[in-house]
Each structure stands twice: as C-alpha cells, then as structure tokens.
Amino acid sequence: MGRPGLSGRVAVVTGAAGGIGAAVARTLVADGAGVVLADVDVAGAEKVARRLREEGHPGRALAARLDVTSPADWQAVCRTACRAFGRPQLLVNNAGVHGLHGVESLGEEEWSTVVDVCQRGTWLGMRALAPLMRLAGGGSIVNLSSVFALIGTGAAVAYHAAKGAIVSMTRTAALEFAPQRIRVNAVSPGIVRTPLTDGLPAGFVDRIAADTPLGRPGAPAEIAAAVHFLLSDAASYITGTNLVVDGGLTAR
C-alpha cells in the first residue's frame, strides 16, 4: 500500500530549526502538507523553511517564532497557521532542552527550565491546537518523548522526569480527545545525532550507541519517518501509544 498523502493538511512543528524538528518538517512538506516551522530560534527556522521552499515546495513552509512555554506565543502561532494555510490538523510537539544533573546536584533553575520546555510546552501545545482540530473535523498529535523516559542513566533527572511525563500525558490526552476524532501518540527516540545531542558531555553519544544493538545512533530522518506514520491515515486506528525508535536499546 502506498503512503497516504498529507496534501491539504496543515501542521505545526515545534523545535523546527534543526535536528529532528527540521527532518519532520521536511517529511511533511514533501508529502503535501502546509507546515509552520515554529522555534524560539526564528532565524534558524526561517533558514530551514527557505531551504524547503527552494527544494521545490513553494508556499508550503513558513517559519514562526515560538517560545513553547508562552501561551501568548502559542495563540500567535495558531493565528499564523490559520492565515497562511487554514486550521491545523497536525501537531508535532518536538521542542525540548537537555538537563545534565542528578538528584543532588540539580539546581532549581535547571529543573524549572527543562520541565517548563519539555513538559509544560507539550501541554500548552495540545491545549492551544485541540480546539482548532475539532473545528477542522479531527486531527493527529505526536509528542516527542525519549527512550530516557523508559530507562535510567544515573543523571539528567529533570529530563527523565519531563520525558516520562510526556508519555503519561499522551495516554490521557488520547482518551480525552478520541471522541473528537483527535489521535494523540508519542515517539520515543533513542540516541540521535542532532545539534542538541552535540552539546552533551564528550563521549556520551558514543557510549549509548555502543550499547545499542544496531550499533549506531539514529538519524533525524529515521525519527521523522515514525512521526509521519503516526500523523498519517496509515495510523488511523492508533492512539495513546508510545512508539519507541531506539535501535533496540530497550530490548536489552
């Protein structure tokens, strides 16, 4: 069966200035969707959007500034999407930040920042777009969690906590929104080489990759393919799930 197209659908992708977010935006634009690439780094998002337009997708990629912790910014992005393309039916909550410290060394500022961006930002995104999806007749949401919602590392406690909360929020939101024809799923990537992971301590990515049965980090495009599947009609009977894309890491 061929991959169902997304022609005519409208998507908002957060954290779209690079890494997984940019790869998701590219996949959706290539499949016919109009995509708002939202990021606090609006210059970076515009660079990705311009590249997509130059690659043969004119009129389908638009950058917008979004601080995912700001309800006002979410409302502005919703207005931008509606003016440019119509009511959004697709949302990818991808924006996130890392924290590195364990329980005793973690400061309150790091805890607040990581939880605010990863966890609260995901909630605010669902809250902002669900009403528009209802008016559009339904939709699909994918929240980016992490394999570190499922396993421990002995550090990064705020990141583990926030990503675990995303999986729980996804399940309960799926039940809440199912009667409204809105599906909600999560994707939990394993270790993936992105600008975000490039900022991790030296050797961390290589150590996790060495423990991964497939023997390498994932690529952003591989995560984007999973996100695309869950957004598409090929996943029309899937909601409330967490799709783990980790090269076999959690199979150990």
Where do the structural domains in the chain lie, given as residue ranges? 10-245
Phi then psi dihedrals of residue 143, to 5 deg: -105, 130
For residue 168, pLDDT over 50 is answered with yes
pLDDT for res 210: 92
Q: What DSSP assignment string belongs to 67-98?
A: -TT-HHHHHHHHHHHHHHTSS--EEEE-----
> Which two three-digit tokens encode residue 183?
């599906």
Confidence of residue 1 (pLDDT cuts 50, 70, 90): very low
For residue 235, pLDDT over 50 is answered with yes
Counting Cα atoms < 13 Å in the Cβ hemisphere of 173 gives: 26
Could you tell me the pTM of the whole model?
0.95
Superfamily of domain 10-245: NAD(P)-binding Rossmann-like Domain (3.40.50.720)
- Rounded CA separation 145/159 (Å): 10
Which residue type sits at 155?
A
The pLDDT of 3-18, averaged and rounded, is 90
Q: What is the pLDDT of residues 44-95, one digit of tens each?
A: 999 999 999 999 999 999 999 999 999 999 999 999 999 999 999 999 999 9
The pLDDT of 136-165, averaged and rounded, is 97
Q: Is 237 a catalytic residue?
A: no
Tell me the chain's radius of gyration from C-alpha atoms.
17
For residue 3, pLDDT over 50 is answered with no
Q: Please, which residues have CB within 8 angstroms of residue 101's CB and are 6 or more apart in sequence?
A: 107, 110, 155, 156, 157, 158
The pLDDT of 97-116, averaged and rounded, is 96
For residue 4, pLDDT over 60 is answered with no
Share of the chain above pLDDT 90, in %: 90
Q: What is the pLDDT of residues 187-234, one digit of tens each?
A: 999 999 888 787 777 688 889 999 999 999 999 999 999 999 999 999
Mean pLDDT of the chain: 95
The pLDDT of 169-184, averaged and rounded, is 98
Instruction: Please identify which of the residues 148, 159, 177, 229 carries the catalytic annotation.
Output: 159
The pLDDT of 119-145, averaged and rounded, is 98
